[in-house]
A and B are shown apart, each in its own frame.
Chain A
Amino acid sequence: MSLKTRIIPCLDVKDGRVVKGVNFVDLADVGDPVESARAYDAAGADELCFLDITASHENRGTILDVVRRTAENCFMPVTVGGGVRSVEDVRALMLAGADKVSINTAAVRDRAIVGRAAEKFGAQAIVVAIDAKRVNAPGAADRWEIFTHGGRNPTGIEVIEYARAVADLGAGEILLTSMDRDGTKAGFDLALTRAVADAVTIPVVASGGVGTLDHLVEGVLDGHASAVLAASIFHYGTYSIREAKAHMARAGIAMRMD
C-alpha cells in the first residue's frame, strides 16, 4: 500500500477574498485566494480546500471565479465547499475546475442530494462535510450530534449514523470537523475521528483543533484519518507543509515528499 496520507490546507474565502490572510513572506497579495493556492501548490500541499463563507447568495459567483483562476494556475487537486445547495451548484463548481465538492447543510436537510450528486459526478467527487459536537454528559457514553451554521444550530442527528448513511448514498469522502475543537489548537477530537473513520469504508479527513505537528500525527495514527486538514498553523507560517510532512514521516506515516 503506497497511497500517501494527505495534508490539506483550508482557506476561508468571503466575496472572493481570503479571510485570515496567508502570511507567507513571498506573497504579493495575502488576500488573494489564487496567490495563496499557488503558494501552497509550490509548498507541496497534497490538496487544497476552499471554504466559501460568502454571506449573500448574490455574491456566490465570486467563488466560481476563484476556482477557475486557481485551476488555471495550479496543478493540484482542489475541494470547494460552503453554500452548496443543489446538484446545479455542484456542477457549476466542477465545471469551474473543482475536483471535489463538499456538501454540508444541504445534505443535513435532505440526504438525497448526496445520491443525486454522486450519480451525476461519481462518488469520488462528492464530499460530505460534517460539523460535530459532543453532546453526552461527562462520563456517559460518547455521543456526537450534527450542528449547522457554524456550530450554532443543533439538528439532533447522531454523527455516526449520519456518516454511514451518506457513505451508503454515494459520498466519496467525509470532511469531519469537531466544533468543540475548531479554533482551540488543542488537537483533533480523536475519539470522534476514530469512531467515524472506523464506521465507514470511505476516507475521512480530520479537521478542527490542530495546533502542533503532533496533532497531525495523532489524527492519523489514533484517529485513523486518511487526511488531515488545518488552517491557521499553515497560514500564519507557524509550520511549513514540508516541516509537517517530515514530522509525520518520522512518526512512521507514509507521506509524499516529491
Chain B
Amino acid sequence: MRIALIDYGAGNLHSAGKALMRALDEIGVTGHVVLGADPDEVARADRIVLPGDGAFRDCRDHLAAIDGLEEALHAQVRVRGRPFLGICVGMQLLADLGEERGETAGLGWIPGRVVALDPQSPGLVSRHLKVPHMGWNTLEARRAHPVLDGLTLGPAGLHAYFLHSFHLLPAHATDLLATADYGGPVSAIVGRDTIVGTQFHPEKSQRLGLKLLANFLKWAP
C-alpha cells in the first residue's frame, strides 16, 4: 500500500508518518509512507493524508503554491475515489471557506465553513470557556462509519488530543461523523464519500488515534 503524506510546509509530518507506519504494522499490511508534494506520487497513492499544523490561510496558500498538486489531489480523491484523510487544518481545508484571519476559500470537498470556536458555559461568570480548545477530550459518534469501527467512544471512552481555535461546521448533518463536547458540540470527525477528516490529531492520540488510522488504512470504500 502506498500512502502519500502531503508535505506542503505545514508542521509535524514526522509524527503523522510514524503513526501511519505503526498503523500499517498493526493491520499487518506491507506498505510505505511517501512524504512529499509530488503530483505523480499522489496519482500513484492508494491512500492520501493531508496533515496540518498552522493557520488556515497560510496552509491554503502553501498548498495552492505547489504546481499541479491540487489538480492531482482532485483527480485521485474526487474522480478516482481513493480514500483521503485530512488532519486538523488538513481537515478544515476540506470546507468551502475558512474564517481564520480573514475569509479564505477551501477545497470545497465537504460543504461548510470553518468558524471560530465560541464555547459557552453557563456555570462560569464569564460564560466563556478557554480558547484554544486544548487537550484531551472524549468523542460522541453521530453516525456509523468504518473509520470508527471498534473505537470505544462516549463519556467513558478513549480520548483524542485537540489543539485548535476553529472548527468545520458541515452544511449537511450527514457529513458529521463525531463531535466532542466543549461548551457545545465541536466537530471532531467529518466524512463524505471517500473523504474523512479529524479535527484532533490521531498521530498524538495514542490508542484512539492509532486505531482510527488503522481503520482508515483498512477502509475499502
Contact = CB atoms under 8 A, between A and B. Distances in A.
Interface of A: 1-6, 41, 46-47, 68, 71-73, 75-77, 91, 94-100, 118-125, 172-173, 201-203, 226-227, 256, 258
Interface string B54-90: 1110100000000000000000000000000000010
Interface stretch (B25-33, B42-50, B104-112, B176-184): B176-184
A215 B100 CA distance: 38
Q: Give the 6 A-B CB pairs with smallest separation, nearest first.
A: A94-B11, A124-B132, A71-B14, A256-B136, A122-B55, A97-B14
Interface of B is mostly: mixed
Contacts of B115: none
Interface stretch (B142-150, B190-198, B203-211): B203-211
Given A119-B55, A121-B53, 17 more contacts: A3-B133, A3-B134, A3-B182, A4-B136, A75-B205, A75-B206, A97-B14, A97-B15, A99-B53, A99-B201, A118-B55, A120-B58, A122-B56, A124-B134, A124-B165, A172-B165, A256-B136
A3 B131 contact: no
B214 interface: no
Given A1-B181, A71-B18, A122 B206 contact: no
Contacts of B119: 1
Nearest to B134: A203
Interface in B123-178: 126, 128-138, 155, 158-159, 161-165
A175 to B, nearest CB: 12
A122 B164 CA distance: 8
Contacts of A173: 132, 134
B94 to A, nearest CB: 17
Contact of A75 (B56, B128, B131, B210): B210
Contacts of B24: none
A54 to B, nearest CB: 21
Nearest to A94: B11
A6 B14 contact: no
Contacts of B204: 75-77, 99
B141 to A, nearest CB: 14
A171 B60 CA distance: 21
Interface in B1-28: 11-15, 18-19, 22
Contacts of A75: 15, 18-19, 22, 203-206, 209-210
Contacts of B206: 41, 75-76, 258
Q: Which of B56, B136, B138, B180 has the most CB of A within 10 A?
A: B136
Given A68-B14, A203-B130, A1 B121 contact: yes
